[in-house]
Structure formats: C-alpha cells, structure tokens
Amino acid sequence: MAGDVLVFVEQREGSIKKASFEALTVGREVAAARGGSMSAMLVGSGVAALAGEAARFGAAKVFVCDDAKLAAYSGDAWAKAAKVCAQESGATLLLFAHTAMGKDLAPRVATHLGCGLVSDATSVHATGDDVHAKKPVFAGKAYKEFVGSGMTCVTLRPNAFAASESAGAGQVVNVAAPETDILAIVKEVLAASTNAVPLQEAQVVVAGGRGLKGPEHWKLLEDLASAFGPGVAALGASRAVVDAGWRPHGEQVGQTGKVVAPPLYIAVGISGAIQHLAGMSTSKYIVAINKDAEAPIFKVANYGIVGDAFEVVPKLCEAIRAIRG
C-alpha cells in the first residue's frame, strides 16, 4: 500500500541494535500518519527468532530473509535481499538506522530501487504521500529538508529519536534469498576493546583536547568515563589531539571525525574550533571545562566551569562516582 513503511532491523550476532528500535518507532508513527502500516525486515542467518522483538515495536509484518549465505554481512548480497523484501512489502518508505551497516546498505538498496535517499535524518514526517526528512549538512552547521514523493529511503541518526514499544501483529513472511555472486563479505569482526562503548551510541561522551597537555593525562578522562559505570560513557577527542597522535582517529569528534549527539557531552580542555562544534552541538546537554573563559566552547555549553582540568575533573569524578557507585 502506498502509505506503508518498511524498517530494516539491524542485528549483529543475534541482538538488535538500539537504533533499530528507534527506527521502528519512527516507522510506526509515520505509517500511522500516512494511513498505512509498518513492517520490518530482518536479513541474516538464524534471524527469524528476532521477529517477535520487531513486533513489540509495532511491526504488522516481519519480512525475514534467513539464509546461511547471509550469515556474515555482505553489502552487495544483503542489499539484493533487502530489495526483494521491499518489493514484496509494497512499502513506499524504507527506513534504516544510520549506523555503520545502515549507511553502507541504504545507498545500495536505494540504487536498486531507483529512488532517493535522505541519509542521517534527525526528523521525519509525512504530508499526504510525501515524506519530509531533515538532516544536518556541513556536520550540523545547517539543516536541509528534503521531500520525497513515491519510493523513498531514509536513514535515521542514532539517539535523535526516542524508541517506544507498541505491539504489532508481527506476522512472519519468509522471503527467499536471491541468487547472487557475493562480491565482498565480512570475514572477521575486530572489537576495539571488550568494554568500550561505541562513541556514537554512548549516553555520555567525555572528550579531551589540547588543554590536557599530553596523552599521558588521559587517565583523568578514563576515570571520569568509568565513574558513570560500565557501558555508559565513551571517550572522544578534538582534531588537534588526534592529529598530534595523542589519541586514535576513531575518537575524533567533529566535521572530519564522528558526529555525536549524546544526552551528555563533557568537553575538557577543548577550546571549541568551529569544526569540533559542528560534531557535537546537537548533544542534549553540554558541559565545558576550560581555563580560558573566552573559549568558544562556552557559547554552546549548557554548563561551563572556568578552571584547570587537573583540578576540576578529579573532583567531578569523585562526585559522579558517589552518585553512580
């Protein structure tokens, strides 16, 4: 049906990504506004068991493409499977989470379907048959609103939408995996560290800049991050300290690094160059700790403390540990 919405539900090793629950929630709301229904699709091997979880978030149908050949992620093979699910569902709006997998898969699916894709959207709504999706451009220095008519794909920024449950029928529709030569496939997943929280999924980001004076002082930030308890906080860094080799590229927040939007962002010793602000200014609450009262970071910070990180952070760490511990 023209108003129907199909949501790609991402799973890794049998567990569904939180961002996919957000996408299911958006899909359910947009479908209701368009007078259609929301369905989900699951691609992989042994994924049929997850259909019930998609139903908890409102999926009327769950299209399942379950095949041993799809056990590991292959963008090209999975895109063909997703295309078949999309065609069988008859949906005209496809939603994905803008995760590493979603942003790799969605452009392929959109190309197969010959349609437009709005990537990394932070708001989506329907007017009649049209879909309006707004996304940050220039890493958040501006927002662009796109309108799609007919078949349209959208990827949704993680943490930008709330997830809520509302039971759906969850009728399972099995879809046969299309025959295809696999062109590229994941052979191995290398975890950064067993306890590390992915930067873009973290509830709290603790980021450091040149004000910390050297890589040897990162223990301070590690302690602050761990004070929030396990699985809550991730470490971030400014471009200056990444370029200086103090921290790995994967931690860089900003226009040429990761764009993050956690509920709480703590910037320590970061002055707030425009390209850094672009990567974190959609965070819900920003705390800045910096010696220089004139630093631009204070212009975006909900709460600022002017002071020496080496004096402020240990006290903050202790206080948070007292609450969380």
Partner 1 sequence: MASAPMAAPRKLRPERAVASLKGDLDASRALLWIGARNRLSDSIWSFRHLALASTEHPYQTGPGETELTMEILVFVKRVPATDSKIKVGADGKQIDPAGVEYVLNPYDEFAVEEALKTKEKFGGEVTVLTIGSADAQKELRTCLAMGADKAILLEADTSSVDASSISKCLAAKAKELGAQIIFCGKQAVDGDDAQVGVRVATLLGWACVSDVSSLELSDGAFVATRDIEGGKEKIEGKLPAVLTCQKGLNEPRYPNLKGIMAAKKKPLESSPASLESAALRVAGLTPPPARPAPAILGEGAAAVDLLIDKLKNEAKVI
Q: Which of residues 180-219 bind partner 1 (CB under 8 A)?
A: 183-192, 196-198, 200-201, 204
3-state secondary structure of 11: strand
Q: Check if the beta carbon of residue 170 is closer than 8 Å to that of residue 51.
A: yes
E strand or H helix that includes residue 4: none
Q: What backbone phi and psi angles, to 5 degrees, belong to 265?
A: -120, 125
* The only residue of 1, 15, 144, 171 in contact with partner 1, by rule CB under 8 A: 144
312 binds partner 1 (CB under 8 A): yes
135 binds partner 1 (CB under 8 A): yes
101 binds partner 1 (CB under 8 A): yes
> Please, what is the minimum distance in Å from the beta carbon of residue 220 to partner 1?
13
In the complex with partner 1, the residue whose CB is nearer, 139 or 177, is 139
CA neighbor of 296 nearest in space, from 267, 255, 253, 324: 267
Give the type of residue at 140: G
> Please, what is the minimum distance in Å from the beta carbon of residue 315 to partner 1?
4
Q: How far apart are CA 163 and CA 250, in angstroms?
A: 27
Q: How far apart are CA 160 and CA 5, in angstroms?
A: 19
Which residues from 104-133 bind partner 1, rule CB under 8 A? Answer: 104, 107-108, 110-112, 114-120, 132
> Please, what is the minimum distance in Å from the beta carbon of residue 270 to partner 1?
15
> Please, what is the minimum distance in Å from the beta carbon of residue 167 to partner 1?
28
Q: How far apart are CA 89 and CA 1, in angstroms?
A: 8
3-state secondary structure of 280: helix
49 binds partner 1 (CB under 8 A): no
Which residues from 211-270 bind partner 1, rule CB under 8 A? Answer: 228, 248-250, 252, 254-257, 259, 263-264
> Please, what is the minimum distance in Å from the beta carbon of residue 208 to partner 1?
17
